[in-house]
Amino acid sequence: MPDVLMLSAAHPPADVRIVLKEGAALAAAGLAVEHLAPAAPQMPPQVAGVRLLGFPKPRGRWGRLRNIWRLSRLARARGARVIHAHEPDSWLAAWLARPEKLVIDVHEHYPSRLDDRLPGWARPAARWALRRFCRAMGWVADAVVVAKDGLAQDYGARSVPVRNYAADPGVAPRRHVPGPLTLLHLGAISRARGWPQLLAALALGPADTRLAIAGRFTDGSEAEFLEEAGRLAVASRISLHGWLPPAEMAALAARCDINLVLFQPGQENHRLALPHKLSDGMLAGLPVIAPDFATEVAAMVREADCGLLVDVADPYAIAHAIRLLGDAGLRARLGANGRAAALGGFGWTAQAQALRGLYGRLLGTGRDVPQHASLLGKPPARGL
């Protein structure tokens, strides 16, 4: 019987935030942690001290909705003291499972999630309904973990920030020297994440600039991407690496020169974004080119002085920033600033401690769950 069941309706079994950071932090503190998620091929039984459990992945959004009751039964059967759920449908499944303690984890701005699927006249009503659902879940949960500050307003007073910063992968950072540049795009890529603007900027820049992409296309636009790259005569300068394990991704980042975060304007989730790839690039010692409209990203880049903020909807602005970062001395200074910040105040260590502190209170110790201390076998706390 686990102390903590991480519950996911859609995230992969070895998800970086859920397993490699949050789950690993709790497991390192002696808690028995499981992650119940859609099964994946060749899924290992355990990762980072977290036991992985799979269920057949439902098809489509309606399939996920129909799966809520089944997911609640699977979660209840695990008998965990705390269920920590990671999407709105898994929040509801976790609540239906009636655990001793319920934690919901907020990764995105859910009230605006339907904006791009609805006509303009329907969006206010949809946002109102989704915001009411979020507030209701915040009210019934024992705690709400938020990945970024701008999300907390919809969930009430039980919000605890555990920001989506990266842990040090132990890879030596990039040593910046004069010469041709390699741009890096990590994670999911789509039109809304700026590949049309990126390709146009690549075509505007020096002919020896290269682009490495580590991630997958999430909107089915890979064929269009390749067609456009061919039309612009930049295809030979692009390498597609697919989705890489964290260690391989960190090694690739350390061979590149400039990190790219190119979320396009028009989505509230993009304005409030705090993507993991920003911290990944900082740890690799890479300066970043990032959106000037993205509130949390821009604040982090300004405070750390680790990159350039531009109008990412304008390929000429991106290309100009790339030219500026052709100066190896500037890249080295901004990259070193970012790495120092990612190892310090913008690092995962403090966030892991905040999460352990929350669990210490939830499990009735009255203090932080200590690193490496075991709480296994303790009787359930009452009246918390």
Biggest CA-to-CA distance, the chain: 67
pLDDT over 70 for what percent of the chain? 95
Q: How far apart are CA 252 and CA 255, in angstroms?
A: 5
Please, which residues have CB within 8 angstroms of residue 170's CB and are 6 or more apart in sequence? Answer: 250
Radius of gyration of the chain (CA): 21
Choose the weakest-confidence range: 16-20, 148-152, 315-319, 347-351: 148-152
Q: Looking at 228-327, which runs of residues are DSSP E strands? A: 238-240, 258-260, 288-291, 307-310
Cα–Cα distances in Å, from 309 out to 26, 49, 301, 344?
A: 35, 38, 8, 22
> Nearest-5° angle of CA 257, CA 258, CA 263?
155
Average pLDDT over residues 19-37: 97
7: closest CA among 141, 133, 109?
141
At position 366, the amino acid (one-letter code) is G
Average pLDDT value for the chain = 92
* Model pLDDT for residues 191-209, shown as the tens digit of each residue: 999 999 999 999 999 999 9
* Model pLDDT for residues 82-100, shown as the tens digit of each residue: 999 999 999 999 999 999 9
Average pLDDT over residues 243-269: 95
> pLDDT at position 299, please?
96
Domains of the chain with bracketed CATH: 4-165+348-362 (3.40.50.2000), 182-343 (3.40.50.2000)
At position 226, the amino acid (one-letter code) is L
pLDDT-derived band at 359, boundaries 50, 70, 90: very high
Over 90: is that where the pLDDT of 59 sits? no
pLDDT-derived band at 315, boundaries 50, 70, 90: very high
Cα–Cα distances in Å, from 161 out to 1, 143, 244?
A: 28, 10, 28
Q: How far apart are CA 313 and CA 2, in angstroms?
A: 47
Q: How far apart are CA 148 and CA 137, in angstroms?
A: 18
Over 50: is that where the pLDDT of 380 sits? no
Average pLDDT over residues 249-275: 95
Looking at residue 217, what DSSP letter applies?
B
pLDDT over 90 for what percent of the chain? 85
In the sheet with 210-214, reading across from the earlier edge strand, the strands are: 238-240, 210-214, 182-186, 258-260, 288-291, 307-310
Please, which residues have CB within 8 angstroms of residue 273's CB and are 6 or more apart in sequence? Answer: 148, 261, 263, 294, 296, 297
- Phi and psi at 4, nearest 5°, equal -130, 130
Please, which residues have CB within 8 angstroms of residue 319's CB and are 6 or more apart in sequence? Answer: 200, 201, 204, 205
* pTM confidence score: 0.85
Q: Looking at the chain, which runs of residues are DSSP E strands? A: 4-7, 33-38, 46-47, 50-55, 82-85, 101-106, 143-146, 159-161, 182-186, 210-214, 238-240, 258-260, 288-291, 307-310
